[in-house]
Structure 1
């Protein structure tokens, strides 16, 4: 569980609510269904219009990474690669065949299979690099829906404000309707700017960090498997890959 994400959201919302209270405003005045529908509905529609369905759905599924991020234990991977290097040095590359079915990660299984099959180290590197690039491209395209939402949301907030002011202008002769129109106008702006900067843009940046960590994890595995295929000394492999532990 990523506690800092939860704390960040609570702190941001608390700052807005407490600020409203200290200014003497009513908390209920921040709740406007019309403004919410304009901002969220308009933003969602714009994002869907510009995004491929698979990327949109994948981006929604990635939202869970904000609270439950993918686990990548670089130190464990270093130990696994070092062990595989020792096994290959003692029993040959075929000795790694026993480890293939034990790995749940399809990427790791494919890497091991190529090594066991005796593929050239450069061939292994190119194949794994291609897969890393494909993953990076697809994942960033999916995460970009949140970045796009952060761009569209303030605009729809302004649109809601303009619509509210139009409603006010149409009812200048009826003072009883002026309050609702003005409320929608200002609350829509708050929703648009607030949601973009408190949720959408931070979510996009957090997902980019997780994607980069995933890419680095796969690069570490790739370097290790290529070294094993080259017959590199396990101790040298361990020392060289230790630099990845900083991630």
Structure 2
């Protein structure tokens, strides 16, 4: 799992639970009907808004993002530099034998081996980028919608609790506990939105930007290889995609470039 995500989940829940325990009994924060209203209402509204398969894909995509290691842009730059060296030593045709876990990189290498034009390579990879952004946006949109629905159903649950409380005003002793129960649904909705749905949407967005950067590195690297640029020129062009402080230094004779 991504370390930042794990740290965020643990620290956030620990702080909230600690505050609840320090403030008194934790039992008062448990209300099954309130949970049913918020969770059930959020899921129902989401399913009414988007297709069921999109909801499944959203949770599947979130699971993959939080469990799989991300590809560092510097690693992709190193890969493109190695491909540049292979191209200079053995020719473009040799790139057709390259094996990679990235289907886009594998496809780009096949296009290079087939001596495709620069415009074909550029258009092909740009289509991959556009498709990736569209797919990821639909996944993020599911969690953004759930983040909007959860507080709304929390407020709805509060209104239901207030109505039930006001119907029992002849018994003043029950007003305090009834008000606490009524407010719990608002707490559940806010907690889900701020601790679950919005962070997931944000994490998915950051991973999308990272994957787009990697695809852009592949695109520009392949074009540089096609035009037979020296691998140092390839490095100078691709290194602009990452901050200067994170750029890996490479040796050129006795000198270093970075």
**Length, aligned pairs only:** 244
Q: Compared with structure 1, are the counterparts of its residues 54 and 223 closer, same or farther at alpha carbon in structure 2 (3 Å cutoff)?
A: farther
* Mapping of residues 114-129 of structure 1, within 5 Å: 114-129=111-126
Three-state SS of the structure 2 residue aligned to 1:67 is helix
Q: Show the counterpart of 1:57.
A: 56
Deviations 1:65-92 (A, max 9, x none): 5632442032222222112112222332
Q: Secondary structure at the match of 2:60?
A: helix
Write the distance in 1 (CA, Å) between the matches of 2:33 and 2:173.
18
Distance 2:187 2:27 in 1: 14
Distance 2:21 2:75 in 1: 49
Tell whether the 8 Å contact from 1:164 to 1:185 is kept in structure 2 after alignment. yes
Aligned to 1:201: 198
Give yes or no for the alignment of 1:241 onto 2:238: yes
Is the CA contact (8 Å cut-off) linking 1:153 and 1:196 kept in structure 2? yes
Q: Using the TM superposition, give the Cα deviation of residue 63 of structure 1 relative to its aligned residue in structure 2, in angstroms.
A: 2.1
Q: Where do 5+ consecutive residues of structure 2 fail to align?
A: 247-258
Instruction: Work out the CA distance in 2 between the residues paired with 1:176 and 1:113.
Output: 76
Equivalence map 1:55-94=2 (5 Å)? 55-65=54-64, 67-94=66-93
CA-based RMSD? 2.0
Once the two structures are overlaid, the 10-residue window that deviates more, 7-16 or 221-230, is 7-16
CA distance in 1, matches of 2:65, 2:80: 29
Mean CA deviation greater in 138-147 or 45-54: 45-54
Of residues 126, 133, 141, the one that matches 1:136 is: 133
